[in-house]
């Protein structure tokens, strides 16, 4: 059983697969329009809604910001291996690889961007990564249920395996001489991004086929990893013409 926290995560699961939502708990003290809308959606799909006190919700959320809404739902069976994802595709893969992203808010935002851009999977190492926590899933606003999040033991080795499958690995680095706008982004692509400030680890960087930089026009030196992911993914999607 999985705990979903917050309006976006709960409504997203209801709209995607309502029969997997067992029950919804809401703050008995809330009766605003947003809460009424959620209750109406739940009623439409025949999902039971129970009003409880805020302290009970806090305990169920495990520290995640729940906004007065918690749902208990079945675990969605998402692919655990990238090979399972690649076998289902009818277009060249568009992948996002994250190296060293340890903030669940950043991971959740990356998943949300990946969903919007039609990214086929997000790949991250088991170590030096936050994992798909309740907080990350909440920030993802339902995208954690639609975009496969693949955890690998060795990111560089996974990158080499993907390269053997003909997937071009494009890493981002502030000091890369070529701009994202001029880089090869057509065909099968894996976009590789590191955490803000630290960037890509040396081995990850060396395993990339190519390094690009995101043009920065103002005074800041870098972008948050989720923003940078959005820029790169949407540019790659734009090159495909849709």
Is the domain of 181 the same as that of 63? no
* Listed residues 73, 97, 119: the one ending a domain: 73
Is the domain of 109 the same as that of 198? yes
pLDDT at 43 > cutoff 90:
yes
Is the domain of 95 the same as that of 164? yes
Q: Which residues contact 34 (CB under 8 A, 6 or more apart)?
A: 7
Q: Is 97 left (phi over 0), alpha (psi -120 to 50) or beta?
A: beta
3-state secondary structure labels for all residues of 24-43? EEEECCCCCHHHHHHHHHHH
Is the domain of 51 the same as that of 100? no
pLDDT of residue 221: 76
Query: In the chain, what percentage of residues exceed pLDDT 70?
Result: 100
Is the domain of 92 the same as that of 163? yes
pTM over 0.85: no
Contact present, 100 and 129 (Cβ < 8 Å): yes
Total domains in the chain come to 2
Is the domain of 65 the same as that of 145? no
Distance CA 223, CA 17 (A): 34
pLDDT of residue 242: 65
Count how many Cα atoms sit within 13 Å of the Cα of residue 163 in the half-sphere of its side chain.
Answer: 14
Quickly list H helices, 126-213: 134-139, 155-164, 202-207
Is the domain of 63 the same as that of 106? no
Q: What CATH number does residue 13 fall under?
A: 3.30.1330.30
Domain residue limits at 210: 82-239
195 or 234, greater pLDDT: 234
Which of 142, 138, 118, 109 has the alpha carbon at shortest distance from 229? 109
pLDDT averaged over every residue in the chain: 92
Q: Is 230 helix (H, G, I), strand (E, B) or coil?
A: helix
Is the domain of 58 the same as that of 172? no
The model's confidence at residue 213, banded by pLDDT at 50, 70 and 90, is very high
Is the domain of 151 the same as that of 169? yes
Pick the range with the lowest mean pLDDT from 32-36, 175-179, 217-221.
217-221
For 32-41, what is the mean pLDDT? 94
């Amino acid at each position: 059983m999985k705990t979903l926290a917050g309006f976006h995560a709960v409504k997203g699961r209801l709209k995607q697969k309502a029969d997997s939502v067992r029950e919804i708990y809401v703050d008995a003290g809330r009766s605003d329009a947003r809460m009424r809308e959620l209750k109406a959606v739940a009623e439409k799909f025949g999902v039971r809604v129970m009003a409880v006190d805020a302290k009970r919700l806090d305990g169920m959320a495990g520290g995640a910001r729940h906004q007065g809404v918690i749902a208990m739902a079945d675990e969605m069976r998402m692919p655990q291996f990238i090979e399972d994802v690649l076998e289902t595709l009818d277009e060249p893969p568009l992948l996002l690889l994250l190296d060293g992203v340890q903030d669940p808010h950043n991971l959740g935002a990356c998943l949300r961007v990946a969903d919007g851009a039609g990214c086929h999977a997000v790949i991250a190492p088991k170590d030096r990564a936050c994992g798909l926590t309740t907080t990350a899933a909440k920030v993802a606003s339902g995208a954690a249920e639609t975009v496969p999040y693949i955890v690998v033991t060795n990111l560089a080795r996974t990158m080499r395996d993907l390269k053997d499958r003909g997937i071009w690995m494009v890493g981002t680095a502030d000091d890369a001489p070529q701009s994202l706008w001029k880089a090869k982004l057509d065909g099968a692509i894996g976009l590789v991004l590191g955490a803000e400030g630290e960037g890509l680890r040396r081995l990850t960087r060396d395993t990339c086929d190519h390094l690009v930089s995101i043009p920065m026009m103002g005074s800041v030196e870098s972008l948050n990893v989720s923003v940078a992911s959005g820029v790169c993914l949407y540019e790659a999607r734009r090159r495909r013409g849709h």
